[in-house]
A and B are shown apart, each in its own frame.
Chain A
Amino acid sequence: MTMLSPEALKKIDREVAKYPPGHRQSAVMSALAIAQDEKGWLAPETMDFVARYLGMPPVAVYEVATFYAMYNLAPTGRHKVTVCTNLPCALQGATRAAAQLKERLGIGFGETTPDGAITLREGECMGACGDAPVLLVDNKRMCSSMTPDRLDALVDELKAVGGADGK
């Protein structure tokens, strides 16, 4: 049985406590996010563990994991970069930013660089359109106003940082 660390379980318990007694399932989204932070992606064993921990049928956990776009259902590179290309951002340079990233990394959306450093994803509106171009690193760090220089610096940083960071 794949276990999560005691720290992760403590975080999950804190989420469970937000909901009324008998509604542990309400914590499944945060439990999966916490599990993903620790494991890098949601392997079936990880989801099964979350299911047992919350007292849910495994299939109910799979349903959630496959419905929401920010869960990784397969291993990614050491970092995941998700770029918003929706219309408001596109009007403010996101198309150019996405093209620059693809060219610099030599990959398309949904692909990972050969050195395993970066997985590139296309994202939908992140509720930050005024700061376009915007992108998310590893789901949690938002980078705003990504000019060509800043994009280059970010790629340098993510390529340099080893596996110890984040994953």
Chain B
Amino acid sequence: MSAPGGFLDYGPDAIIMAGLTGSNWRLADYVARGGYSALRKILTERIPPTTVIGEVKRSALRGRGGAGFPTGLKWSFMPQQYQGDKYLVCNSDEGEPGTFKDRDILRYNPHVLIEGMAIAAYAMGCGRGYNYIHGEIWETYERAEEAVAEAYAAGFLGTDILGSGFSFLLHNHHGYGAYICGEETALLESLEGKKGQPRFKPPFPASFGLYGKPTTINNTETFAAVPWIINHGGEAFLNLGRPNNGGTKLFSVSGDVARPGNFEVPLGTPFATLLDMAGGMRDGRKLKACIPGGSSMPVLPGDVMMQTDMDYDSIAKAGSMLGSGAVIVMNDTRCMVKSLLRLSYFYYEESCGQCTPCREGTGWLWRVVDRIEHGQGRADDIDLLLSVSDNIAGRTICALGDAAALPVKSFIRHFRDEFQHHIDHRQCLVPAYI
């Protein structure tokens, strides 16, 4: 990840992660890079909140947390005239297998997030905010605590920010080991000091969120894009990417590549280019399969991936989803049954247990994949997996059920022969292992 000159190398087109060395994360460094100028401009020029939201809409920024929902539109759902407390929440509970980008934002450029959140809070009239950080990255949480303290001390957070009359109190909150808390309503429950079981929607957080008050939740990377949009205009951000797919995106590339890491590239960048940035396939092996958006998204065969561009619409057309931007690369030595087995165990382990189809179904999927992998598969097990998947997806309160079902269905769709071979011959079709 290192480039000449001691800079971390996120790629030539990086905007959020440009000019970072790994140690220049402090407020003074950020200000020296031009940081907090967007917030300052909005507050001193008293730019109306609706203008800020309009700029974000123009940028075609879409949520970087998984669903890709248009950010400006989400912000406009917040009731502007509401007199009581409104909350802003950042989702840094990055736990989707394959995703490790928000950690880099938090540890190497935390103030870009703080500035983005302050701007968002101004635009939606939120007086308080929380950044919910994945419990496993404790050192990063501590850095975020330091960064927030710096921002209060410098007057970019707190009451009457820069003498504008606008106040925003931001705090960090840490998780402690529950993937489900990445789901936005489970996250809210967790913030309230409860177990993280998702809420039924509607009502959506914009009307009934944290402590029952109007709340907007965005991903870390979503907020981190906002200062650039304000500084350069929504149009410029949009033009970095493609229509309906504005801006750059951080992709976390993991698996069988030579240099796993994060790369920030314009949306629409060919997958082949991204693979090159990650050093290509490790040991020069052949690309067999790739999950382009985190473990919850459908797997795609390698040759399909090589024809696909990395933006929301292109990946959807190829049959998967951009999701969180976690690109999991698998080579030709990988057994697809064994790979799916580990993912199925994950969803079984992480189901919160609230909805019967998910609680029972994820365990069922795991046990059936497990017996196929271990040579005990039965003739109708593939059909059984598909049927259980269909009976989970769309029948649960939150999308974890779909997240468990989609990998199963896509692994079977594209690699059915491997599952069949395991069942028929009680052994694996590919020689190697994980």
Residues of B within 8 A of A32 (CB): 176
Residues of B within 8 A of A90 (CB): 342, 434
Produce 1/0 per residue, B166-201, CB < 8 A to A.
Answer: 000001111111110000000000111111100000
Q: A88-B328, A91-B434 are in contact. Are A129 and B343 (CB under 8 A)?
A: no
A91 pairs with B85, CB closer than 8 A: no
Number of interface residues of A (CB under 8 A): 48
Complex CA–CA separation, A63 to B211 (angstroms): 19
Residues of B within 8 A of A20 (CB): 85, 128, 211
Instruction: State whether the Cβ of A33 lies closer than 8 Å to any Cβ in chain B.
Output: yes
- What distance in Å separates the Cβ of A70 from its nearest Cβ neighbour in chain B? 4
A88 pairs with B138, CB closer than 8 A: no
Instruction: State whether the Cβ of B330 lies closer than 8 Å to any Cβ in chain A.
Output: yes
Instruction: State whether the Cβ of B103 lies closer than 8 Å to any Cβ in chain A.
Output: yes
Residues of B within 8 A of A18 (CB): 130, 171-173
List chain B positions with a Cβ less than 8 A from chain A: 85, 94-100, 102-103, 128, 130, 134-139, 171-179, 190-196, 211, 252-256, 260-262, 295, 326, 328-330, 334, 339, 342-343, 346, 349-350, 352, 433-434
Residues of A within 8 A of B352 (CB): 67
- What distance in Å separates the Cβ of A10 from its nearest Cβ neighbour in chain B? 15
Complex CA–CA separation, A91 to B190 (angstroms): 32
A30 pairs with B174, CB closer than 8 A: yes
Complex CA–CA separation, A89 to B139 (angstroms): 20
Complex CA–CA separation, A40 to B201 (angstroms): 39
Residues of B within 8 A of A129 (CB): 97-100, 252, 254, 260, 326
Q: A26-B191, A88-B255 are in contact. Are A125 and B135 (CB under 8 A)?
A: no
Complex CA–CA separation, A85 to B339 (angstroms): 11
A130 pairs with B137, CB closer than 8 A: no
Complex CA–CA separation, A129 to B391 (angstroms): 31
Q: A127-B100, A130-B254, A132-B260 are in contact. Are A71 and B128 (CB under 8 A)?
A: no
B256 pairs with A127, CB closer than 8 A: no
A127 pairs with B95, CB closer than 8 A: yes
Residues of B within 8 A of A153 (CB): none
A63 pairs with B174, CB closer than 8 A: no
Residues of B within 8 A of A128 (CB): 100, 103, 136-137
- A105-135 contacts to B (CB < 8 Å): 123-132
- A24-42 contacts to B (CB < 8 Å): 24-30, 32-33
Q: A87-B339, A91-B328 are in contact. Are A127 and B254 (CB under 8 A)?
A: no
Q: Which of B255, B326, B350 has the most CB of A within 10 A?
A: B255
5 more contacts with CB within 8 A, not counting A29-B173, A92-B254, are A18-B172, A68-B195, A70-B136, A125-B95, A127-B102
A68 CB contact (under 8 Å) in B94, B176, B328: B176
- What distance in Å separates the Cβ of A57 from its nearest Cβ neighbour in chain B? 12
Q: A71-B176, A130-B252 are in contact. Are A23 and B95 (CB under 8 A)?
A: no
List chain A positions with a Cβ less than 8 A from chain B: 18-20, 23-30, 32-33, 54, 56, 60, 63-64, 66-71, 85-92, 95, 123-132, 136, 139-142
B192 CB contact (under 8 Å) in A23, A87, A91, A127: A23
B177 pairs with A64, CB closer than 8 A: no
Residues of A within 8 A of B211 (CB): 20, 23
B137 pairs with A127, CB closer than 8 A: yes
Q: A29-B175, A69-B177, A132-B254 are in contact. Are A139 and B138 (CB under 8 A)?
A: yes
B98 pairs with A88, CB closer than 8 A: yes
A25 pairs with B134, CB closer than 8 A: no
Residues of B within 8 A of A140 (CB): 138-139
Complex CA–CA separation, A35 to B237 (angstroms): 46
- What distance in Å separates the Cβ of B224 from its nearest Cβ neighbour in chain A? 16
Interchain Cβ contacts under 8 Å between A and B, 6 examples: A18-B173, A68-B177, A70-B177, A91-B434, A92-B256, A126-B137
A64 CB contact (under 8 Å) in B172, B195, B262: B195
Q: A67-B195, A69-B176, A70-B177 are in contact. Are A130 and B260 (CB under 8 A)?
A: yes
Q: Which of A54, A86, A90 has the most CB of B within 10 A?
A: A86
- What distance in Å separates the Cβ of A80 from its nearest Cβ neighbour in chain B? 12
Complex CA–CA separation, A29 to B313 (angstroms): 39
A86 pairs with B97, CB closer than 8 A: yes
B434 CB contact (under 8 Å) in A69, A95, A125, A141: A95
B190 CB contact (under 8 Å) in A27, A29, A136: A29
Residues of A within 8 A of B195 (CB): 63-64, 66-68
Complex CA–CA separation, A28 to B79 (angstroms): 30
B260 pairs with A33, CB closer than 8 A: no
Residues of A within 8 A of B95 (CB): 124-127
A130 pairs with B261, CB closer than 8 A: yes
Q: Which of A71, A127, A140 has the most CB of B within 10 A?
A: A127
